[in-house]
């Protein structure tokens, strides 16, 4: 591969080792660190999934029968730390324990931008979940599904202008039955919806050791092709070249020098869903709009799981109130848009209390409080992520943690758990306590002047100006990129 002088970087989709042992990883690094270009790897079933409670590594202290699996995860954590320093718009689904470096949770999925392409590494597969324990509890690793993280990662990539998406995983097929980890029907629907909405130009996988081309995935009725790459032990690899038309992929055999091209595959760029337009935005016939902006008025934050309201006292100390009242200005908050130039679904917000005029603030210790409004304080900036039925999760821009309430307490916590109702909030009008966040609806303009007219009064209806295109759901394809 070093004979390929134009390679910008390489991607290795798992099965780096047979069992994840320290000496195997050391051998890998001693060879691949001699490449003339950077490489970015993911984990396969042989690196960790096959070794759960089944492989002791004598080089990993106090790690019990999960020593080999834990060792592979440690190498991945180290790599993520390194990649973060050099890769543009790097994003990783891993949350560190504040006390122990090797403790944490997340899927270990990560992504980055290169030129106009967004690359994603989904590890073994996007639905894999397992707890990796250790004898001394200093290396407990909770591996979670990456689906929720993936959808938000791709949404943010498209909103910042990325044109094409390349997904990578060790395996990528619909049932994911490896090691008794069966995907639920909702997980299958979510993954289907992600593929249909964001249309990756290609999905690369490994695992099978044999080069395979699926230009139309039988198990996913979507446009995106899936390519299985050959194995390094057989000197098989792919070289991908990107241009304005799409991808040219050369399948290479390195069993001779110079390496021989055995196949060439041309992948055209898919037609991407447009960015949603919003009410009042100038458009034309055929443009897709999404309704339901966040209220430009006083609102109450009510937790879906507990029914309690976010409240502060005169000194700005936070609490959760079991009773809400339209006369209680300590429960009234204003959403101040951080970036007025972008659509409401693209911006972060400061959450400002009506009485104290202090903003909701947070730190890396999961603590919540209020402080005087800071112009560029990312700890006071919150990103709304709409989930089901108009409910919203609020992610702190500085920490990446989510606003949560349980057992009478307020705090932030990591993890894209879109079905965790303790992280879900509804906004109510502060004056009449009616919901201001019903499920968002999509509409297609039927006329050139549709944008001058309001959406239909009843959600789900069409009229002379607008054709209803469905409602926001994580289980269905979105006709445009917004929430």
Report whether 260 contacts 253 (CB < 8 A): yes
The percentage of residues in the chain with a pLDDT greater than 90, rounded to a whole number, is: 53
pLDDT value of position 342: 81
pLDDT value of position 333: 92
- The whole-chain average pLDDT of the chain stands at 87
CA proximity to 117, closest of 274, 283, 241, 32:
241
Instruction: Provide the token pair at 250.
Output: 């050369």
pLDDT at 246 over 70: yes
Report whether 57 contacts 66 (CB < 8 A): no
Res. 83 pLDDT band, cuts 50 70 90? very high
Q: SS3 of 186, please? A: helix
Least confident span in 11-25, 158-172, 436-450, 453-467: 436-450
Render pLDDT for 387-398 as a digit per residue (tens, 0 to 9).
Answer: 877 789 999 999
Prediction pTM value: 0.90
Residues 388 and 269: their CA atoms lie apart, in Å, by 31
CB atoms within 10 A of CB 406: 17
CA 196 to chain centre: 16
Res. 216 pLDDT band, cuts 50 70 90? low
Render pLDDT for 268-324 as a digit per residue (tens, 0 to 9).
Answer: 999 899 999 988 899 999 999 998 666 667 888 999 999 889 999 888 899 887 666
Residues ≥6 apart with Cβ < 8 Å to 18: 24, 46
Least confident span in 3-12, 379-388, 397-406: 3-12
Cα 234 to Cα 170, 206, 237: the distances in Å are: 17, 13, 9
pLDDT at 67 over 90: no
Instruction: Provide the token pair at 307.
Output: 């029914």
pLDDT value of position 221: 64
The answer to whether the bond into 258 is cis (omega within 30° of 0) is: yes
Give the CA dihedral 73, 76, 77, 78, nearest 10 degrees: 130
The more confident residue out of 190 and 459 is 190
Q: Does the CA dihedral 49-53-57-60 come out positive or negative?
A: positive
CA proximity to 290, closest of 272, 303, 273, 304:
273
Least confident span in 2-6, 30-34, 254-258: 2-6
> From the CA atom positions of the chain, what is the Rg in Å?
24
Residues 81 and 79: their CA atoms lie apart, in Å, by 5
Q: Where are the alpha helices (DSSP H) in 21-66?
A: 22-32
The percentage of residues in the chain with a pLDDT greater than 70, rounded to a whole number, is: 90
Report long-range pairs for 324-328 (Cβ below 8 Å, ≥24 apart).
Answer: 324/300, 324/428, 324/433, 326/430, 326/431, 326/432, 326/433
Per-range mean pLDDT, top range of 129-143, 173-187, 357-371 = 357-371
């Amino acid at each position: 591969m070093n004979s390929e002088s134009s390679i910008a970087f390489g991607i290795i989709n798992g099965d780096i080792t047979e069992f994840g042992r320290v000496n195997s990883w050391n051998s890998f690094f001693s060879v691949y660190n001699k490449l003339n270009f950077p490489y970015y790897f993911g984990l396969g079933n042989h690196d960790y999934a096959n070794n759960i409670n089944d492989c002791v590594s004598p080089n990993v202290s106090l790690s019990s029968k999960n020593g080999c699996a834990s060792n592979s995860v440690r190498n991945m954590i180290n790599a993520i730390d390194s990649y973060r320093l050099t890769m543009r718009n790097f994003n990783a689904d891993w949350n560190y324990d504040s006390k122990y470096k090797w403790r944490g949770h997340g899927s270990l999925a990560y992504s980055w931008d290169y030129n106009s392409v967004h690359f994603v590494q989904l590890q073994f597969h996007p639905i894999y979940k397992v707890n990796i324990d250790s004898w001394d509890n200093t290396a407990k690793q909770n591996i979670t599904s990456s689906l929720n993280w993936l959808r938000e990662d791709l949404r943010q990539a498209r909103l910042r202008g990325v044109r094409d998406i390349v997904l990578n995983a060790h395996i990528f097929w619909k049932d994911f039955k490896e090691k008794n980890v069966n995907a639920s029907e909702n997980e299958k629907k979510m993954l289907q919806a992600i593929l249909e909405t964001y249309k990756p130009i290609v999905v690369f996988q490994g695992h099978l050791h044999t080069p395979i081309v699926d230009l139309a995935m039988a198990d996913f009725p979507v446009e995106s092709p899936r390519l299985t790459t050959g194995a390094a032990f057989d000197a098989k690899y792919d070289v991908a070249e990107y241009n304005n038309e799409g991808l040219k992929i050369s399948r290479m055999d390195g069993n001779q020098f110079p390496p021989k091209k055995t196949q060439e595959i041309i992948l055209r760029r898919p037609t991407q869903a447009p960015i949603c337009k919003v009410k009042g935005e100038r458009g034309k016939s055929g443009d897709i709009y999404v309704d339901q902006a966040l209220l430009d008025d006083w609102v109450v934050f009510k937790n879906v799981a507990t029914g309690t309201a976010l409240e502060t006292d005169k000194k700005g100390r936070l609490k959760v109130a079991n009773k809400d009242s339209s006369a209680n200005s300590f429960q009234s908050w204003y959403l101040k848009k951080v970036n007025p130039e972008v659509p409401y679904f693209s911006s972060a917000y400061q959450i400002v209390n009506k009485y104290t005029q202090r903003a909701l603030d947070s730190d890396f210790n999961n603590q919540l409080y209020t402080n005087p409004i800071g112009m560029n304080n990312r700890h006071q900036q919150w990103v709304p992520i709409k989930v089901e039925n108009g409910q919203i999760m609020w992610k702190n821009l500085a920490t990446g943690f989510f606003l949560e309430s349980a057992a009478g307490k307020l705090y932030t916590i990591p993890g894209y758990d879109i079905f965790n109702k303790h992280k879900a909030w509804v906004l109510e009008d502060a004056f009449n306590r009616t919901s201001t966040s019903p499920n968002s609806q999509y509409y297609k303009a039927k006329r050139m002047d549709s944008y001058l007219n309001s959406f239909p009064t009843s959600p789900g209806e069409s009229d002379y100006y607008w054709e209803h295109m469905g409602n926001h759901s994580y289980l269905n394809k979105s006709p445009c990129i917004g929430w």
